[in-house]
């Protein structure tokens, strides 16, 4: 039984109820803070006993959010092999190996030389393994990087009371020190100003504790903590005072842990069937009674081992969540029960639900981690469809070969089918006797054909009717064609066999499968991996400064249409500087020094600026360089830096043993978002030298000015009344002009109290009134100099930038104009929809544009567009689908006073908008802000409360410098420099991914179309492909892999930002790409057909084949069928060589996608491309001329023979022609000429694209592959 009187559920409920204001009631029910301490067996003055920590950890959990789990290298390797293209290649490789091995076995049995065609299958298999290993290695490397990022958050020690003693966070004895991860429920923690609360706790005691909860709640107002408001949330910062608290929730159950869980999504459960669970209240054992159900999805009989695997429950690992009905529990282990139909589940803690014998057992549903991007989905659709077309082509090829063989052999020659015996002249003999008889008859001129069952075997001559058709045919060839199978001949004497009709059929299968392999774009997976990897690695370098956490984010940014950016630190430098000051009735454009301010006034304003700042705020001047380094609040740093420029002595006021009791003074009244002011009471002297308690006030200038009744003159002594006219003059002459100049105005004032005034019990509104005005400063958060240009680039690139900021609408509008977000605008007042007050909106005054809202406050925005009762966007009156949001967002550029919830509404609204469907209507046809495809939204964030918006966006950017860990874990890309320019760089690199994929598609599909056509044509006309499978392997796998690397490493150009986004669901095969594929394929097919049918000598039987040949024909070669069997021909070698050279020169053409004529531009800047091209050309020369040549002068592996210089010139000329042809086609053929081929280029939404994907993968092979990947429930990025 538990030794505690409070359950985990009860304690978690307290912090969960905090935001709703219901926490006090729950605490009261449990006897208040003291009652909770008693229930948790804690003496607040002594803390817990160290011996109880393990039990507390078992009952209430550990103070650590479970780290993200990463798949192992083997699991990643398995995922790579589940790719549809990979599966097709694996099947092709295994079939090719099996058929090749079977063929070699048959050849050995018949005394023939093995063909070794299994080598092709092994080569395919090796290439598939290489691509899969590379992809798995890339993913594994990225996971390791993420893991290292998590590990960088090193543990730190906390201050606690345990065993009656205080343990400091600086404790050197590791056996005594308490790590933040060692905290448990019941621990008494100690905190002070600047500390981060490490776990949810309740205030026990302390002095003037105030906590900033903005990182969790978004509320900038600091919250006082005392016995009436004791809840302190994990992840929040102590800004004032010090105190102690009792921990009530840790890890996943704490406030920050729940936010992490929200990012990942809710835990879902699925029932275990068939069976029920018997659980008893207070017991740690659950008995699962299994039923026999033949219709159950579970395969086989349920056992303890199977249930443990289903629960993922291991005694040596952490407990796992299960549910019994609605009761969540933690399962520790699983074992066999007392009977054969019972399994025992051991719980970590006692079951707290009602006793019942018929609970349904639920286990955590496996998380779908396979987030498939739109690009991957489109590529899969393409690969599946191409594979299907290849399958159809393979079947057609098989049918053609079968018909051709059947007509010739069983129709024309009428020979028997599947005969297996060797024979000669109609006599069936053993092979040795057949050869002996043939050789004897070859020397006998009187030999004549002998009849045998109406089938004849010719020895020395061919019938005239056959010679009339083909005068070049030899007796051995004729006999082989008539009787089929294998032939052995000598001096035109022949022995033939019908033994291998089966082998002939298998040869058809090999040829057909080669056609299928040729059709599949093998290099495409590798091209995608390389393009994403190259982009992600390059994006980390200067000047890009982006760490990519999700590889898919690279391609998604290429389609971005909207960027919702923070202002501070992203658009601005986050380095506040005072530009103007109004002090003591004088305006200063530079920092006043010396005699410009009287000594008395200097004393007042220096104390007001330096003392009224937070403890964590400081400015340190580098003695060597004079550079100021800011620490803490940026606004206070700007004021402090200005004070230093004025020559004020910071050290004397803030150093150790300072007379002002800084940092807290007599009492510190922290900044309040309600009053927009902060105050500090310090001991000092007035102008008469009398000791007083002086309250210095600082805050928003209009608020401070309204609290002032007097003003101090420049002499620092005279104090006069501050009339309404004087106040109005300060507003019109200084505050408003400063704000319009993008300056944030901060005012300073003071009030003196007697030295013995009871400041301890005073409230801020009591001391912060009747003030004496000192002056004000105008602070500038300078816009990053590169931002206006970067925003202009976004506009040119078709991307709309929207700013989300906490500034007031005037400052936000001025900054937006400076950043080129908006042009002209004017302010108008508007009544809030809930009639709670007025607000200001900015309407566009840009020439030629309608009167639309370009800037508004967050409060108005959410009231206008969001229905909090339904938690959905408001619909237009009378409409069931159109939203109010759709009328607003196209022109909206700035959200001021923007909360994290407003940002989330904006992001989700943009993503879900269906306004693109109306692009072709008259209302939106000419509206550049509405596109013809769905919005792709990127968003920036730095705080913990930004995490939901970062996770919801298509691409989330977290700040690397000021961003919280939770924000960085929720994002896709981390901006290492927090700079908006880096986002634009991410867009450029993302678009480059699509460019690289498009370039490779041009290259790969051209190769596939040509090779497929030639393989089918050769099979149909000659019974074999002029390109052997091993040659196609070199082109399709090895050379394509090199081409994918060469084209994937093309660097991006600024021209990419001059084009509009292409649309994330738009077809990859654009008109230009299809134009290139079709025209290039036409040229290559024509050239190869000319080589195949017209290039070589068709008459001479005795001319020299190949190297320095003596044959006729314009290519000076002998036709392949005239070459003795088993020897490669110069004819087919030239076809192979020309085919490869055309691909190499065409690869240069594919570097350009957009009708560029100069295809060589920038080529030398890509060392990868140049190196790979030269290596590919060199390897082709080696294959054709040098490598693996035997004494007969041919390459056994690639089945080529050596070519002479003339034949090489022919091949080079035809290959270079592909380069010139591609350039010519860009000039002559317009993309619109192939409109009929671009039906897939229309824009579709992602639901329709998913339907296309499911339809494409409906084949048996594709369905099985994608079911294993869980694509039925995919979450598309």
Give the residue numbers annotated as catalytic, written as ranges.
Answer: 566
Residues 643, 649: Cα–Cα separation, whole Å: 8
3-state secondary structure 660-714: CCCCCCCEEEEEECCCCEEEEEEEEECCCCCEEEEEEEEEEHHHHHHHEEEEECC
Q: Which residues pair with 1150 in a beta bridge?
A: none
DSSP 248-310: EE-GGGSHHHHHHHHHH----EEE--SEEEEE-TT-SEEEEEE---TTSSS-S---HHHHHHH
Angle at 430 between CA 428 and CA 431, to 5 degrees: 110
Question: Rounded to an integer, what distance in angstroms lies between the CA atom of residue 134 and that of residue 73?
Answer: 11
DSSP assignment of 748-789, as one string?
EEEEEE-TT---TT--HHHHSSSEEEEEEEEEEEEEPTTHHH
Q: What is the distance between the alpha carbons of residues 456 and 451, in angstroms, rounded to a whole number?
A: 6
In degrees, rounded to 5, the angle at the alpha carbon of residue 1044 between the alpha carbons of residues 1043 and 1047 is 80
How far is 1059 from 407, CA to CA, in rounded Å?
A: 58
| Cβ-count burial 201-214 (b if 16+ within 10 Å, e if not) | bbbbebebbbbbbb
In the three-class reduction of DSSP (H, G, I as helix; E, B as strand; rest coil), residue 936 is classed as coil
Contacts of 329 (CB under 8 A, 6+ apart): 286, 321, 322, 323, 347, 348, 349, 351
Three state DSSP letters for 119-131? HHHHHHHHHHHHH
Backbone angles phi, psi at 810, to 5 degrees: -70, -50
Helices (H) then strands (E): counts for the chain: 40, 44
Closest CA relative to residue 1015, chosen from 1080, 1088, 1075, 1079: 1088
**What is the rounded CA–CA span in Å between residue 1012 and residue 1077?**
13
DSSP state of 1243: -
Q: What angle do CA 71, 73, 79 make, to 5 degrees?
A: 70
Residue 92's nearest CA partner among 1002, 1024, 1037 is: 1037
What DSSP designation does 1196 have?
T
- With both helix axes pointing from N to C terminus, report the angle between 523-539 and 374-405 in degrees, rounded to the nearest 10: 160
Strands 955-959 and 973-975: parallel
> How many CB atoms are closer than 10 A to CB 445?
7
118: left (phi over 0), alpha (psi -120 to 50) or beta: alpha
With CA atoms as reference, report the closest residue to 1102 among 488, 493, 479, 474.
474
689: Cα within 13 Å, side-chain hemisphere: 0
Within 13 Å of residue 782, how many CA atoms lie on the same side as its CB?
A: 9
| Residue bearing tokens 């090749």 | 100
**Helices 523-539 & 980-1022 angle (0-180, nearest 10):** 160
Q: What are phi and psi for residue 859, nearest 5 degrees?
A: -65, -45
Backbone angles phi, psi at 724, to 5 degrees: -65, -35
d(CA 275, CA 286): 13
Q: Which of 188, 191, 184 is nearest to 162 (CA)?
A: 188
Q: What span, in angstroms and rounded, lies between the C-alpha atoms of 651 and 38?
A: 47
């Amino acid at each position: 039984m538990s030794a505690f009187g409070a359950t985990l559920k009860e304690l978690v409920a307290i912090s969960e109820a905090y935001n709703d204001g219901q926490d006090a009631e729950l605490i009261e029910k449990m006897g208040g803070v003291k009652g909770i301490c008693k229930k948790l067996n804690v003496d607040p003055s002594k803390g817990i006993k160290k011996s109880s920590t393990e039990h507390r950890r078992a009952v209430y959990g550990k103070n650590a959010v479970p780290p993200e789990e990463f798949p192992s290298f083997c699991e990643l390797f398995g995922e790579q092999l589940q790719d549809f293209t990979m599966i097709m290649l694996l099947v092709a490789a295994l079939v090719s190996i099996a058929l090749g091995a079977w063929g070699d076995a048959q050849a050995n049995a018949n005394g023939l030389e093995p063909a070794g065609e299994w080598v092709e299958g092994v080569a395919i298999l090796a290439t598939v393994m290489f691509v899969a290993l590379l992809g798995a290695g890339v993913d594994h490397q990225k996971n390791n990087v993420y893991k290292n990022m998590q590990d960088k958050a090193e543990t730190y020690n906390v201050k606690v009371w345990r065993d009656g003693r205080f343990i400091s966070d600086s404790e050197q004895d590791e056996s005594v020190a308490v790590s933040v991860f060692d905290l448990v429920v019941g621990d008494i923690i100690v905190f002070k100003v600047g500390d981060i609360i490490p776990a949810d706790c309740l205030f026990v005691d302390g002095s003037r504790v105030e906590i900033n909860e903005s990182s969790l709640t978004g509320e900038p107002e600091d919250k006082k903590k005392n016995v009436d408001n004791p809840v302190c949330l994990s992840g929040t910062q102590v800004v004032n005072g010090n105190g102690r608290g009792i921990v009530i929730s840790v890890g996943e159950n704490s406030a920050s842990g729940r936010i992490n869980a929200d990012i990942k999504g809710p835990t879902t459960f699925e029932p275990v069937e068939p069976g029920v669970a018997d659980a008893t209240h207070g017991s740690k054992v659950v008995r699962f009674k299994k039923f026999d159900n033949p219709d159950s999805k579970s395969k086989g009989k349920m056992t303890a081992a199977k249930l443990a695997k289903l629960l993922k429950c291991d005694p040596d690992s952490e407990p796992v969540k299960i549910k019994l009905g609605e009761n969540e529990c933690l399962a520790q282990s699983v074992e066999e029960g007392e009977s054969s139909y019972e399994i025992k589940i051991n719980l970590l803690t006692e079951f707290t639900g009602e006793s019942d014998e018929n609970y349904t057992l639920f286990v955590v549903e496996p998380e779908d981690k396979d987030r498939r991007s739109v690009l991957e989905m489109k590529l899969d659709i393409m690969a599946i469809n191409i594979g299907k077309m290849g399958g159809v082509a393979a079947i057609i090829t098989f049918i053609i070969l079968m018909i051709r063989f059947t007509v010739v052999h069983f129709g024309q020659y009428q020979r028997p089918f599947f005969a297996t015996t060797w024979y000669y002249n109609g006599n069936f003999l053993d092979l040795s006797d057949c050869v002996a008889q043939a050789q004897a008859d070859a020397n006998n001129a009187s030999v004549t054909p002998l009849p045998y069952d109406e089938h004849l075997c010719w020895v020395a001559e061919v019938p005239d009717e056959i010679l009339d058709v083909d005068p070049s045919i030899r007796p051995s060839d004729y006999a082989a064609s008539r009787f089929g199978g294998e032939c052995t001949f000598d001096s035109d004497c022949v022995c033939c066999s019908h033994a291998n009709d089966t082998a002939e059929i298998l040869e058809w299968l090999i040829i057909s499968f080669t056609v299928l392999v040729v059709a599949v774009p093998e290099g495409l997976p590798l091209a995608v991996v390389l393009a994403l990897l190259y982009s992600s690695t390059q994006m980390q370098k200067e000047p890009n400064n982006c760490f990519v956490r999700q590889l898919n984010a690279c391609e998604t940014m290429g389609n971005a249409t909207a960027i919702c950016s923070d202002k501070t630190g992203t658009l601005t430098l986050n380095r506040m500087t005072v530009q103007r000051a109004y002090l003591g009735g004088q305006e200063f454009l530079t920092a006043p020094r010396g005699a410009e301010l009287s000594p008395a006034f200097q004393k007042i304003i220096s104390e007001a600026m330096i003392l009224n700042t937070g403890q964590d705020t400081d400015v340190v001047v580098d003695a060597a360089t004079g550079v100021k380094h800011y620490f803490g609040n940026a606004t206070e740093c700007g004021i402090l830096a200005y004070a230093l420029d004025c020559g004020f002595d910071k050290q004397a006021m803030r150093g150790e043993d300072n007379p002002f009791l800084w940092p807290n003074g007599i009492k510190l009244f922290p900044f309040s978002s309600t009053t927009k002011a902060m105050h500090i009471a310090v001991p000092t002297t007035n102008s008469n030298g009398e000791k007083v308690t002086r309250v210095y006030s600082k805050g928003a200038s209009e608020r401070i000015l309204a609290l002032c009744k007097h003003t101090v003159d420049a002499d620092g002594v005279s104090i006069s009344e501050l009339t309404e006219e004087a106040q109005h003059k300060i507003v019109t002459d200084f505050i408003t002009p400063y704000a319009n100049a993008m300056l944030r105005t901060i005012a300073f004032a003071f009030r003196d109290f007697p030295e013995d005034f009871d400041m301890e019990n005073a409230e801020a509104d009591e001391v912060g009134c009747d003030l004496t005005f000192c002056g004000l400063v105008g602070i500038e958060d300078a816009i990053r100099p590169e931002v206006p240009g970067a925003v202009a680039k976004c506009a040119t690139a078709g991307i709309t930038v929207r700013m989300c900021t906490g500034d007031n609408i005037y400052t936000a509008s001025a900054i937006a104009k400076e950043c080129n977000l908006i042009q002209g605008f004017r302010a108008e007042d508007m009544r809030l929809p809930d009639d709670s007050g007025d607000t200001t909106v900015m309407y566009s005054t840009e020439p030629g544009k309608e009167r639309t809202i370009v800037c508004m406050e967050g409060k108005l925005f959410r009231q206008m567009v969001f229905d909090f009762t339904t938690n959905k966007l408001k619909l237009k009156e009378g409409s069931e689908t159109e939203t109010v949001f759709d009328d607003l967002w196209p022109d909206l550029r700035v959200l001021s006073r923007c909360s994290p919830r407003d940002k989330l509404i904006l992001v989700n609204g943009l993503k879900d908008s269906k306004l693109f469907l109306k692009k072709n209507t008259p209302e939106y046809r000419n509206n550049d802000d509405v596109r013809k495809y769905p919005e792709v939204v990127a968003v920036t964030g730095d705080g913990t409360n930004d995490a939901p918006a970062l996770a919801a966006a298509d691409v989330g950017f977290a700040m690397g410098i000021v961003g919280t860990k939770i924000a960085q874990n929720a994002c896709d890309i981390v901006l290492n420099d927090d700079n908006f320019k880096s986002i634009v760089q991410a867009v450029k690199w993302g678009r480059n991914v699509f460019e690289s994929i498009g370039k490779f598609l041009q290259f790969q599909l051209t190769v596939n179309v040509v090779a497929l056509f030639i393989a089918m044509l050769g099979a149909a006309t000659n019974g074999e492909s002029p390109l052997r499978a091993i040659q196609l392997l070199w082109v399709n796998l090895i050379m394509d892999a090199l081409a994918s690397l060469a084209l994937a490493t093309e660097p991006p150009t600024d021209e990419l930002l001059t084009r509009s986004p292409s649309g994330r669901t738009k077809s990859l095969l654009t008109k230009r790409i299809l134009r290139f594929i079709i025209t290039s394929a036409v040229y290559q097919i024509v050239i190869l057909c000319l080589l195949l049918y017209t290039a070589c000598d068709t008459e001479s039987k005795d001319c020299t084949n190949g190297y320095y040949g003596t044959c006729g024909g314009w290519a000076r070669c002998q036709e392949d069928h005239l070459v003795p069997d088993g020897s490669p021909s110069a004819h087919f070698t030239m076809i192979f060589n020309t085919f490869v050279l055309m691909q190499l020169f065409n690869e240069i053409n594919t570097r350009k996608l957009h009708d560029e004529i100069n295809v060589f531009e920038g080529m030398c800047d890509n060392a990868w491309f140049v190196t790979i091209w030269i290596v590919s050309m060199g390897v082709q020369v080696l294959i054709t001329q040098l490598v693996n040549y035997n004494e007969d002068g041919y390459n056994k592996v690639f089945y080529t023979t050596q070519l002479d210089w003339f034949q090489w010139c022919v091949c080079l000329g035809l290959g270079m022609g592909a380069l010139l042809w591609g350039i010519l086609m860009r000039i002559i053929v317009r993309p619109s000429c192939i409109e009929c081929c671009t039906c897939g280029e229309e824009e579709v939404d992602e639901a329709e694209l998913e339907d296309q994907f499911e339809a494409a993968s409906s084949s048996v092979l594709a369905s099985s592959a994608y079911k294993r990947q869980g694509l039925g429930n995919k979450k598309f990025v």
